[in-house]
Amino acid sequence: MSTEEMEITGVLERVKTGVEAFDELVMGGLPRARTTVVGGTPGSGKTVFATQFLAHGITQFDENGVLVTFEEPPADIQANMSGFGWDLARWKKEGRLAFVDASPPANDELVIGDFDLAGLLSRIQHAAKSVNARRVVLDSLTQLFDHFIGDPKILRRELFHISTALKKTGLTVLMTAERNSEYGEITRHRLEEFVADNVIILRNVLYREKRRRTIEVLKMRGSHHVEGEAPFTLLGGRGVVAIPLSSLRLEQHSSTLRVTSGNVDIDEMCGGGFFRDSVTLVSGATGTGKTLLVTNFVSGGVEAGEKVIMFGYEESRGQLFRNASGWGADFARMEADGKLKVVSLYPEAQGLPDHLLTIQGMVDEFKPNRIAVDSLSALERIAPETGFREFLISLTSFIKKREIAGLCTATSKSLLGGESASEQHISTMTDSIILLRYIQERETMHRGLMVLKMRGSEHAKEIRRFSIDGTGMHLGEPFKEAPNVFRE
C-alpha cells in the first residue's frame, strides 16, 4: 500500500525511531513519509536522538539514510556519535549513509534579503537517491535560519517547499531545532512547528543542581499519542533511552506462593510470609532496624536456595558486609557462592532514570529471586517529587513484572514516626507495609513493629515489641496499650 493510499484509508505506516520505549508514546513509531521536528535547548540530546533515528533504520530495518548538517562538519559528528556505538564512517563507506555538509565556513557572512533552498533540496535529493534512502535528518534548522536575515514568511515558504518535496518521494524526515528555554516557545524562529506534521520536545531541566531530562510528544498530526512528559536519559552504547509510564502494564500473574522474610515471627505476623511476586515497604526512623530486616530478607532467601540482589544507597559495601557479619550473616560467602550480589551506589552519582536502568540491567543479568533496595529515601533527595514518583512506579512495576520478591526501605521523617514522602508515594503500589517505630513508655523508649498492610492476606493487627542484639531481631509481646505510631 502506498503512502497516499494509507492516508486515504486512514492507515498510517509506522517508522521505528530506535529510541527505546519512545515508540510506545507514538503508538508504534513515527508516521511514514511525514516530517517531525525535534526541539530542545542546547545539550538536550537533539542530535543524538536524530542520529539514533538514522542508526536504527540502517542496522535494524535496512533503511538507509541521509544526514544533512548545518552546524557541525561530518567528521565531528562521526567522532561524537562513536561513543554511542554508531559507526557513521563505516556506513558511509558501505553506501548506507550519505552526508550533506551544509555547515557554513568559519568566515561566512550573514545573507540579507531573499533566498531559496532549491540548491539544498537538489543536494539532499541526490544524496537520498545515491544510497536509496528512506530516512532523512536535517540538523539543525536553527543554524540555517540564523544564517539569513529576511522575511519570516519566505523562510516558512522555503521550509514548507523542501519538506513537501522530500515527503513526496516517500522519505521520512526528522528536523532538529533550537529552543531558547525549556518551557518557552517551541522553536527559536517559531516556524518549524507549523510546517512539520509532528513535534517532539526534549527538555533538560536543572533541579537541585541536577539535570532531569524529559521527552514530550506535543503534536502528532492525524495520529494518537501519549500526552505529557516522560523521563529519559543518555547512555553510552545505547543513546536516548526513554522511560514512559505508559509502557507499564498490570499483566503479571499473582502468585499464592509464600516466601520467608528471614524472621519466623514476622512471617507469622504476615500470615505465613511474603508473597513471591510482592513488594514490601519497611518504614522506620533511623536506627529502628530497617537494614537488619533487609539482612534477614537476604539471608532467608539464600538459605532457601534463592538468588538475591541488594542495592544499597546509604552505606558502602564494606559497611553492609560488616553489619551483616555482626548479625551472623556472611555476605562475602554468599557472594562467593553466586547466591548474592551487593551493589552500593552513591545516589548523586546519576539521575533516577539512570539508577532505574542500572537496577533493571543488573536484575536481568543476575536473574535473582529477590531484590532489596536500601533505601528509597536516599534516592528521594536527588529528584523532584514527580520524578521520584515516576521512579517508584517504574521500579515496583518492574519487580512485579519479573515476579520476584521485593523489599524496599524508607526513612520516617521523625524519630517517633510520621509518614515520609516515600510512604506517601509507594503505599498504594506496595503489597505490604511494615512499620518500625520508637515508642515511649514513661521514662523508657522501646521499639515497636506493626504490619500495616498485607494485600490479599490476613495479618496480625497488634504492635509488637522487639529488641535487637548481636544475633538479630527478636519480637516480644504486643503493647498492652496501643500507642499512636502515626504521630507527627
Beta bridge partners of 275: 258
Q: Which helix (H) or strand (E) holds 230?
A: strand 229-235
Same domain, 203 and 285: no
Same domain, 207 and 279: no
Give this prediction's pTM. Answer: 0.81
**Is residue 171 included in any domain, yes or no?**
yes
pLDDT of residue 38: 94
pLDDT of residue 384: 80
Same domain, 128 and 190: yes
Decide which of 177, 212, 242 is a domain's last residue.
242
Same domain, 235 and 317: no
Same domain, 266 and 234: no
**Is residue 175 included in any domain, yes or no?**
yes
Q: Which three cell numbers stand for residue 468?
A: 535487637
Same domain, 288 and 165: no
| 198-207/210-220 β-pairing | antiparallel
**Is residue 250 included in any domain, yes or no?**
no
Q: Is 168 exposed, middle or buried (0-12, 13-18, 19+ CB in 10 A)?
A: exposed
Same domain, 234 and 337: no
pLDDT of residue 123: 93
In the block, which residue shows the cell 523489599? 407
Side-chain-side CA neighbours of 176 within 13 Å: the count stands at 26
Give dist(CA 138, CA 21) in Å, integer. 23
Q: What is the pLDDT along the chain (488 residues), one digit of tens a residue?
A: 444 444 443 568 999 998 888 998 898 999 999 999 999 998 899 999 999 999 999 999 999 999 999 888 899 999 999 999 999 999 999 999 999 998 766 555 544 445 567 888 999 999 999 999 999 999 987 777 766 656 667 777 878 888 899 999 999 999 998 888 888 887 776 766 778 899 999 999 887 777 889 999 999 988 888 888 889 999 988 999 988 765 555 555 667 899 999 999 999 999 999 999 899 999 998 889 999 999 999 999 999 999 999 999 999 999 999 999 999 999 999 999 999 999 999 998 888 899 999 999 999 999 999 999 998 989 988 878 888 888 888 898 899 889 999 999 998 876 555 555 455 566 677 889 999 999 888 778 889 999 999 988 899 999 999 999 888 899 999 988 756 655 54
Q: Which of 422, 441, 443, 436 has its CA nearest to residue 485?
A: 436
Same domain, 312 and 238: no
Same domain, 178 and 270: no
Same domain, 278 and 227: no
Q: Are 8 and 203 in contact (CB under 8 A)?
A: no
pLDDT of residue 295: 96
Name, in order, each residue with C-beta under 8 angstroms of 345's C-beta and a sequence gap of 6 or more. 311, 312, 313, 355, 358
Same domain, 238 and 317: no
Per the structure, how many domains does the chain have? 2
**Is residue 7 included in any domain, yes or no?**
yes
Same domain, 273 and 211: no
- DSSP letter, residue 462: S
Helix (H, G, I), strand (E, B) or coil at 396: helix
Neighbours of 408 (CB within 10 A): 27
Containing structural domain, residue 222: 3-242
**Is residue 9 included in any domain, yes or no?**
yes
Return the C-alpha torsion angle 341, 347, 353, 355, nearest 10: -10
Q: What are phi and psi of 66, to 5 degrees?
A: -125, 130
pLDDT of residue 8: 40
In the block, which residue shows the cell 522575511? 151
Task: Tell me the torsion sign for CA atoms 79, 73, 66, 33.
Answer: positive
